[in-house]
Amino acid sequence: MARPSVIAIDGPAASGKSTLGQRLAEALGYLYFDTGVMYRAVTLAALRRGVDPNDEAAVTRLAEVVHIDVVPPTVADGRQYTVLLDGEDVTWDLRQPEVDAWVSPVSAYPGVRAALLSQQRRIAAGGRVVMVGRDIGTVVLPNADLKIYLDASLEERARRRYKEMMARGQSASYEEVLQSMRRRDEIDSRRATAPLRPAPDAVVIDSTTMDADAVLKHVLKLVEGADDHDGK
Ligand code: CDP
Instruction: Specify the pLDDT at position 232.
Output: 42
Q: Is residue 39 lining ligand 1, measured as CB closer than 6 Å?
A: yes
Task: Show the domains of the chain with their CATH numbers.
Answer: 6-223 (3.40.50.300)
Q: Is residue 180 lining ligand 1, measured as CB closer than 6 Å?
A: no
Question: What percent of the chain lies above the pLDDT cut of 70?
Answer: 97
CA angle 172, 173, 179 (to 5 degrees): 100
Per the prediction, the chain carries an average pLDDT of 94
Dist. CA 232–CA 230, nearest whole Å: 5
For residue range 173-229, list pLDDT tens digits in order. 999 999 999 999 999 999 999 999 999 999 999 999 999 999 999 999 999 986 655
For residue range 139-174, list pLDDT tens digits in order. 999 999 999 999 999 999 999 999 999 998 988 899
Ligand 1 centre to CA of 135 (Å) is 9
For residue range 118-145, list pLDDT tens digits in order. 999 999 999 999 999 999 999 999 999 9
Ligand 1 centre to CA of 84 (Å) is 18
CB 172 within 8 A of CB 226: no
Tell me: pLDDT of 51 over 70: yes
Q: Is residue 40 lining ligand 1, measured as CB closer than 6 Å?
A: yes
Instruction: Specify the pLDDT at position 1.
Output: 65
Dist. CA 232–CA 215, nearest whole Å: 26
CB 113 within 8 A of CB 194: yes
- Expressed in percent and rounded to 5, the helix, strand and coil fractions of the chain are 50, 15, 35
- Tell me whether strands 68-71 and 82-85 are parallel, antiparallel or unpaired: antiparallel
Q: Is residue 133 lining ligand 1, measured as CB closer than 6 Å?
A: yes
Instruction: Specify the pLDDT at position 2.
Output: 85
Q: Which of 39, 42, 94, 98 to mutate to test the pocket of ligand 1 (most atoms within 8 A of CB)?
A: 39
CB 107 within 8 A of CB 188: yes
Tell me: pLDDT of 231 over 80: no
For residues 23-33, average pLDDT: 97
* Nearest CA, atom 14, ligand 1: 104
